[in-house]
Amino acid sequence: MQEITDKAHTLLKSRYLLEDVKSHSLESPEQMFSRVAVAVGNAEKNYRTHQSKSFWEGRFFELMRNYLFLPNSTTLINAGKPFQQLCACFVLPVSDDKAAMDECMRVSAMIQENSGGTGYDLSGLNPRGETTLKGESYKGPIDFIRQIDSLTEIIMKPGRRKGANMGALHVSHPDIEEFVNAKVSGSDFQNFNISVGITDEFMQAMFQDKVFELIHPESGEVIRKIPAKYLWKSIVRQAWWNGDPGILFLDEINRHNPTPSLGRITGTNPCGEVPLLPYEACNLGSLNLAKMVALPFSKSSFINWKKLGETVNTAIRFLDNVIDVNNYPIPQIEFMAKGNRKVGLGVMGWADMLIRLGIPYTSNEAIELASKIMKFIKEKSWNASFDLALEREPFPNWEKSIYYPMQPLRNATCTAIAPTGSISFLAEVSPSIEPLFTLNNRQEYQLKNQTPQSLNPALESILTSRGLYSKGIIDRICAEGKLKNIPGLPEDLKELFKTAQEVPFQIHLKHQLAFQNHTDNAISKTINLPESATMTEVDWAFKMAWYGGAKGVTVYRNRSKEHQPFESIDGQ
Ligand code: UDP
């Protein structure tokens, strides 16, 4: 069993462990995992299975306690509570209708009070300033963002996970320019990610330097024509300036929509890894790839495929159970979530896995392995979902899905790669498929009373085994956060431990695309750029993402937001 360090324990205590009114923990980390395993195991009662409920509870506990797999934070926090909202990802419909808007606010508040996040497609809202039949003015998409952003701020309580939001707007909406420029400074709409929903038609118009029509969402009238290139440049400039907006490639998303007869997908959850229909929800969980390496840090290290396959199998069952025991805020969401039974199994600790295998993140070998690993996970998760379909039933909308009749599945989607911002911290591995952000763990998570400095444990172990460990070197690495400028360290180590901003944007993208190729949903990945990156690089990153078949893309240039969550010491 993995030792739970003080750092992980501090986070567990501040957010996950059950507490009494005086904030005293009522459970140990083991008891938390047991609470989750029992709550999720309860779904077994609904089905006739070969194994007993306690068998599965035991398996679920083992997976979590050994940090082979963790469900997303919402499941860890809320399992076993009276209102058991275990999903973190929702998409809600938005319209100008007053009653519908009030309902959207009410449901958003419920979701966020229970540590979930919500995405909204704002494209159906009438343009700002246009007059309604009653002579009032429509407020438009930006005002909607403002309202939800304030709601999130009000709901936020100490120790609770802050709700996150995603606002998407179709590139042909008349307010698109205002939307693209909505986040001028890092402090604007801090609880919102914004994304432009881009179509292939727009991309063609941009490449051919044509004008693009902005269309009224209700009447379908052409309101204005603007040069597609001009709009594209505004998007690139803003993303270069402070990371927002990101892009959603709507046609690519819909080429993989498992249930097109139920509607076109135009929104995603807050971090973008799950494209969803209105009222859909998805629950996430992540495999810890670092734990799948046998004989780590040695020349004989290898991937334990059997262990990975078995973990995927149990994890899919776990996530499918979550759908049954989950409490949904409103019946419409329950209906959609249970109709498609989407789950999103992803990964964390990818960079750590590579380090344990001695493969640099920047190498072709790493990209090839990314493809191989995710292909394996996808196949195993589809096998698990197929077995569950036979044991339980295919998802209720299966007959309306692209899988019918050849491929019975229990879940309309099985895989998604989430950012794992908190759970990777609990498991003490690199988040999601990102490279290491820094080699000095000091800033990896902002927690009160956290130990001031600690070296990346993998690096520490390699330095020790190679006789390179000295106080001088450690102090220097802790001060700089990377190895690049430190004399006396071998080149192979400098290559193996390249940090996010030392990794060229093309390599970031190649990892994203390699994983995306074998992921049912999408990937939450930030293309990290050094502060010196140019707009041309952002332009290239976006275009390469579209060519490569990404479902979305986000960039972040170092220091481009005043209050950036992670920061390397020298700002490079
Ligand atoms: N999320 C949220 N608030 C947060 C972080 C995450 O609502 O502060 C939701 C959001 O839908 C996001 C999903 O949780 O896309 C997964 O995020 P992450 O993997 O970082 O969550 P973790 O399980 O690590 O807390």
* CA atoms of 387 and 384, how far apart (whole Å): 5
pLDDT of residue 159: 67
Please tell me the residue having the least CA distance from ligand 1 atom 19: 420
In this model, does residue 423 exceed pLDDT 50?
A: yes
Task: Flag the least confident range among 82-91, 372-381, 424-433, 452-461.
Answer: 452-461
pLDDT digit string (tens) for 409-418?
999 999 999 9
Regarding the beta carbon of 164 and ligand 1, being less than 6 Å apart is answered yes
- Position with higher pLDDT, 355 vs 184: 355
Regarding the beta carbon of 89 and ligand 1, being less than 6 Å apart is answered yes
ipTM of the complex: 0.99
Q: Where are the domains of the chain?
A: 89-252+263-268
Regarding the beta carbon of 91 and ligand 1, being less than 6 Å apart is answered no
Average pLDDT of the segment spanning 182-208: 93
pLDDT of residue 110: 95
| Ligand 1 atom with the shortest distance to the CA of 117 | 7
Residue 2's pLDDT band, with cuts at 50, 70 and 90, is: confident
Average pLDDT of the segment spanning 278-294: 98
- Say whether 18 sits in a helix, a strand or coil: coil
pLDDT digit string (tens) for 493-524?
999 999 999 999 999 999 999 999 999 999 99
Regarding the beta carbon of 356 and ligand 1, being less than 6 Å apart is answered no
Task: Flag the least confident range among 24-33, 256-265, 343-352.
Answer: 24-33
| Token pair recorded at residue 93 | 């419909």
pLDDT of residue 183: 92
In this model, does residue 453 exceed pLDDT 90?
A: no
Please tell me the residue having the least CA distance from ligand 1 atom 5: 164
Q: At what angle do helices 228-242 and 200-207 cross, to 10 degrees?
A: 100
| Ligand 1 atom with the shortest distance to the CA of 72 | 23
In this model, does residue 441 exceed pLDDT 80?
A: no
Q: Tell me: cis bond preceding 270? Omega within 30 of 0 counts.
A: no
Regarding the beta carbon of 420 and ligand 1, being less than 6 Å apart is answered yes
| Ligand 1 atom with the shortest distance to the CA of 90 | 11
User: Ligand 1 centre from 419 Cα, in Å?
Assistant: 7
Regarding the beta carbon of 526 and ligand 1, being less than 6 Å apart is answered no
pLDDT of residue 446: 45
pLDDT of residue 565: 42
User: Ligand 1 centre from 484 Cα, in Å?
Assistant: 32
In this model, does residue 462 exceed pLDDT 70?
A: yes
Regarding the beta carbon of 421 and ligand 1, being less than 6 Å apart is answered yes
In this model, does residue 373 exceed pLDDT 50?
A: yes
Please tell me the residue having the least CA distance from ligand 1 atom 8: 162
User: Ligand 1 centre from 424 Cα, in Å?
Assistant: 11
Contacts of 239 (CB under 8 A, 6+ apart): 245, 246, 538, 542, 554, 555
Average pLDDT of the segment spanning 45-57: 92
Phi then psi for residue 532, to 5 deg, are -80, -5
Residue 8's pLDDT band, with cuts at 50, 70 and 90, is: confident
Query: Which of 14, 67, 72 maximizes ligand 1 atoms within 8 Å of its Cβ, making it the mutation to test the pocket?
Result: 72
Regarding the beta carbon of 347 and ligand 1, being less than 6 Å apart is answered no
- DSSP for residue 283: E
Regarding the beta carbon of 228 and ligand 1, being less than 6 Å apart is answered no
* CA atoms of 550 and 420, how far apart (whole Å): 19
Q: At what angle do helices 305-325 and 53-65 cross, to 10 degrees?
A: 120
Please tell me the residue having the least CA distance from ligand 1 atom 14: 88
| Ligand 1 atom with the shortest distance to the CA of 432 | 19
In this model, does residue 246 exceed pLDDT 70?
A: yes
Task: Flag the least confident range among 130-134, 252-256, 382-386, 440-444.
Answer: 440-444
Query: Which of 149, 271, 288, 347 maximizes ligand 1 atoms within 8 Å of its Cβ, making it the mutation to test the pocket?
Result: 271
Percent over 70 (pLDDT), the chain = 95
Query: Which of 91, 190, 284 maximizes ligand 1 atoms within 8 Å of its Cβ, making it the mutation to test the pocket?
Result: 284
User: Ligand 1 centre from 421 Cα, in Å?
Assistant: 7
User: Ligand 1 centre from 420 Cα, in Å?
Assistant: 7
pLDDT digit string (tens) for 220-230?
999 999 999 99
> How many residues in total does the chain contain?
572
pLDDT of residue 161: 78
CB 81 within 8 A of CB 38: no
Residue 135's pLDDT band, with cuts at 50, 70 and 90, is: confident
pLDDT of residue 442: 53
Phi then psi for residue 302, to 5 deg, are -155, 165
CB 545 within 8 A of CB 249: yes
| Ligand 1 atom with the shortest distance to the CA of 272 | 15
In this model, does residue 252 exceed pLDDT 60?
A: yes
pLDDT of residue 562: 58
| Ligand 1 atom with the shortest distance to the CA of 115 | 7
User: Ligand 1 centre from 284 Cα, in Å?
Assistant: 9
Task: Flag the least confident range among 13-17, 118-122, 353-357.
Answer: 13-17
pLDDT of residue 412: 98
The burial of 419, by beta-carbon neighbours within 10 Å (0-12 exposed, 13-18 middle, 19 or more buried), is given as: buried
Residue 137's pLDDT band, with cuts at 50, 70 and 90, is: confident
- Position with higher pLDDT, 288 vs 185: 288
Regarding the beta carbon of 214 and ligand 1, being less than 6 Å apart is answered no
Active site amino acids: 269, 271, 273
pLDDT of residue 445: 43
Residue 572's pLDDT band, with cuts at 50, 70 and 90, is: very low
* CA atoms of 342 and 259, how far apart (whole Å): 11
pLDDT of residue 567: 39
pLDDT digit string (tens) for 104-115?
999 999 999 999
In this model, does residue 346 exceed pLDDT 90?
A: yes
Average pLDDT of the segment spanning 184-213: 94
pLDDT of residue 10: 86
Q: At what angle do helices 305-325 and 364-391 cross, to 10 degrees?
A: 50
* CA atoms of 57 and 43, how far apart (whole Å): 10
Regarding the beta carbon of 116 and ligand 1, being less than 6 Å apart is answered yes
Question: For residue 521, which amino acid is it?
Answer: N
Query: Which of 75, 274, 422, 434 maximizes ligand 1 atoms within 8 Å of its Cβ, making it the mutation to test the pocket?
Result: 422
CB 313 within 8 A of CB 345: no
In this model, does residue 542 exceed pLDDT 60?
A: yes
Regarding the beta carbon of 73 and ligand 1, being less than 6 Å apart is answered yes
* CA atoms of 309 and 569, how far apart (whole Å): 39
User: Ligand 1 centre from 270 Cα, in Å?
Assistant: 8
Q: Alpha-carbon torsion 415, 341, 308, 57, what sign?
A: positive
User: Ligand 1 centre from 162 Cα, in Å?
Assistant: 9
Beta bridge partners, 275, equal 268
DSSP state letters, 365-404: HHHHHHHHHHHHHHHHHHHHHHHHHHHS---GGGGGSTTT
Query: Which of 67, 73, 420 maximizes ligand 1 atoms within 8 Å of its Cβ, making it the mutation to test the pocket?
Result: 73
pLDDT of residue 149: 95
Contacts of 14 (CB under 8 A, 6+ apart): 159, 447, 448
CB 439 within 8 A of CB 497: yes
